[in-house]
Amino acid sequence: MTNANSEKSQNSVTLTDNQSGQQWELPVIDGTVGPRVIDIRKLYGETGMFTYDPGFTSTASCDSEITYIDGDKGILMHRGYRIEDLAEHCDFMDVCHLLLNGDLPDSKQKTKFEHDITYHTMLHEQMIYFFRGFRRDSHPMAVMVGVVGALSAFYHDSTDITDPHQRMVASHRMIAKMPTIAAMAYKYSVGQPFVYPRNDLSYAENFLNMTFSVPAEEYKISPTLARAMDRIFILHADHEQNASTSTVRLAGSSGANPFACIASGIASLWGPAHGGANEAVLRMLQEIGSKDRIPEFIERAKDKNDPFRLMGFGHRVYKNYDPRAKVMQKSCHEVLDELGIRKQEPLLDLAMELERIALEDDFFVEKKLFPNVDFYSGIILKAMGFPTSMFTALFAVARTVGWIAQWNEMVEDPNHRISRPRQLYQGNTGRELPESFKS
């Protein structure tokens, strides 16, 4: 129905209604890189038609300067910097500053930013009672959704989204408090006392300390584990308009406060098709158990009548190797080697063999299914001592900066409006109410 109109202008396409012959010209907008977009904002007003794109496979929901993905080439950039460079040469605070403020910090800015974040690491003491309302066996993500949503009941001085200062304080609070909340969710589930944050430690060290230390004895933070944790945070920090980020933007478009918006993002992240996949990968590897059973599971993944999918494989955007998975695999080797547990941890070898077999299989080659970020992260997290149920909570800690950066970008956009998709209605029309209901 549409065809690019090369005669009139390079920057428009012509839409032709084949029934009436009527034509409309639609502007085309260029980004700095990546596919051009057809601007359909006036489409309904001019044609009386909507576009139909369930799953948003061809829809740009916003313009953004934060993150760029080239899924065919396997490229991920934040503010123009490649993820591989950021993971190698920066720490998570640098990346948070970059995502939130647009640039990597100089040393003065870094000191100030670290101070701004650490200043907010503690939770209102009253929130301890909030935790105690949960069952001990609650999933940490259930606790995270509830507690993060409840922040808006505790921090009234940073919920006015029209005030840039309040937005900034809320952003710092979110980044600072998420590790505290996640660690508390873990401590609560294992029946250990909560450990307060320590502002003399780095972001990753502090998180490990709050999670694994106990008051009864000294806890030595392994620099290897701290570095691996930091890298995991960097690799998960943002990923443009994924399901949870779009959820945050959609919730925020109505003017909801940032704590409520991030809670909605956490809920969306929880699903196994999104952030919940890291948990599912580990369960899958444990179920496969040994290399000789891999072909059986590969066959199941290919069987249309079997709902089983190879978890940690495939991505809506990447039709090539997810660059984060490459860094994660390298990190996985480092962690297992440095902890000296390579031999006791057969899952890494199993995962690598599964990857090798899948990548040689026609089904996965044709459908361009490659390992995604979740494929190796679970193995590192398990080696570090995290229970499987915490994996997605860690993802939420890391992604918070992306959510809040995207939320800020939306709120600051003078053109932003409430997000309100339309639909293709396929239901009944004009039914008469049965007589029995009319009396």
As measured in angstroms, the least distance from the Cβ of 270 to ligand ACO is 11
Instruction: Say whether residue 313 binds ligand ACO (CB under 6 A).
Output: yes
3-state secondary structure of 69: strand
Radius of gyration of the chain (CA): 24
Residue with tokens 């007003």: 45
d(CA 332, CA 321): 17
d(CA 52, CA 411): 26
As measured in angstroms, the least distance from the Cβ of 239 to ligand ACO is 7
Closest CB to ligand ACO: residue number: 314
For residues 314 to 333, the per-residue mask of contacts with ligand ACO, x marking binding by CB under 6 A and - elsewhere, is: xxx-----------------
Q: Which stretch binds ligand ACO (CB under 6 A): 96-104, 203-211, 370-378, 420-428?
A: 370-378
Token pair for 38 = 């057809």
Instruction: Say whether residue 376 binds ligand ACO (CB under 6 A).
Output: no
Instruction: Say whether residue 311 binds ligand ACO (CB under 6 A).
Output: yes
Assess contact for 221 and 200: CB atoms under 8 A.
no
Instruction: Say whether residue 374 binds ligand ACO (CB under 6 A).
Output: yes
Which residue, 301 or 393, is less far from ligand ACO as judged by CB? 301
Which residue, 221 or 354, is less far from ligand ACO as judged by CB? 354
> What single letter denotes the amino acid at residue 427?
G
As measured in angstroms, the least distance from the Cβ of 92 to ligand ACO is 17
Instruction: Give the torsion through C-alpha atoms of 168, 170, 174, 180, to 10 deg.
Output: 120
Q: Which stretch binds ligand ACO (CB under 6 A): 126-134, 153-161, 180-188, 364-372?
A: 364-372
- By CB under 6 A, name the one of 301, 336, 381, 397 that touches ligand ACO: 301
Q: Binding to ligand ACO (CB under 6 A): which residues in 29-88?
A: none
Which residue, 145 or 170, is less far from ligand ACO as judged by CB? 145
149: CB partners within 8 A, 6+ apart: 259, 260, 263
357: CB partners within 8 A, 6+ apart: 294, 295, 298
Give alpha helix (H) positions in 270-361.
277-288, 294-302, 323-338, 346-360
Instruction: Say whether residue 245 binds ligand ACO (CB under 6 A).
Output: no
Which residue, 348 or 369, is less far from ligand ACO as judged by CB? 369
d(CA 256, CA 249): 10
- By CB under 6 A, name the one of 372, 400, 406, 408 that touches ligand ACO: 372
349: CB partners within 8 A, 6+ apart: 291
Enclosing H/E stretch for 67: strand 67-70
Q: Considering CB under 6 A, how many residues would be counted as binding ligand ACO? A: 18
d(CA 2, CA 346): 53
Q: Torsions phi, psi of 294, nearest 5?
A: -60, -50
Which residue, 167 or 324, is less far from ligand ACO as judged by CB? 324
Which residue, 316 or 342, is less far from ligand ACO as judged by CB? 316
d(CA 281, CA 317): 19
As measured in angstroms, the least distance from the Cβ of 233 to ligand ACO is 14
Instruction: Say whether residue 402 binds ligand ACO (CB under 6 A).
Output: no
- By CB under 6 A, name the one of 110, 309, 333, 416 that touches ligand ACO: 309
Q: Catalytic amino acids?
A: 315, 374
> What are the CB-based long-range contacts (under 8 Å, 24+) for 324-327?
324/76, 324/83, 324/235, 324/236, 324/372, 324/373, 325/370, 325/371, 325/372, 325/373, 325/375, 325/376, 326/84, 327/83, 327/84, 327/87, 327/231, 327/235
Instruction: Say whether residue 380 binds ligand ACO (CB under 6 A).
Output: no
For residues 268 to 297, the per-residue mask of contacts with ligand ACO, x marking binding by CB under 6 A and - elsewhere, is: -----xxx-x--------------------
Which residue, 305 or 428, is less far from ligand ACO as judged by CB? 305
Sign of the torsion angle spanned by Cα atoms 14, 15, 20, 22: negative
As measured in angstroms, the least distance from the Cβ of 191 to ligand ACO is 31
Q: Which stretch binds ligand ACO (CB under 6 A): 149-157, 176-184, 290-298, 313-321?
A: 313-321
Q: Which stretch binds ligand ACO (CB under 6 A): 13-21, 182-190, 290-298, 372-380?
A: 372-380
> What single letter denotes the amino acid at residue 92?
F
Which residue, 8 or 367, is less far from ligand ACO as judged by CB? 367
Given the rule CB under 6 A, which residues bind ligand ACO? 273-275, 277, 301, 309-316, 367, 369, 372-374
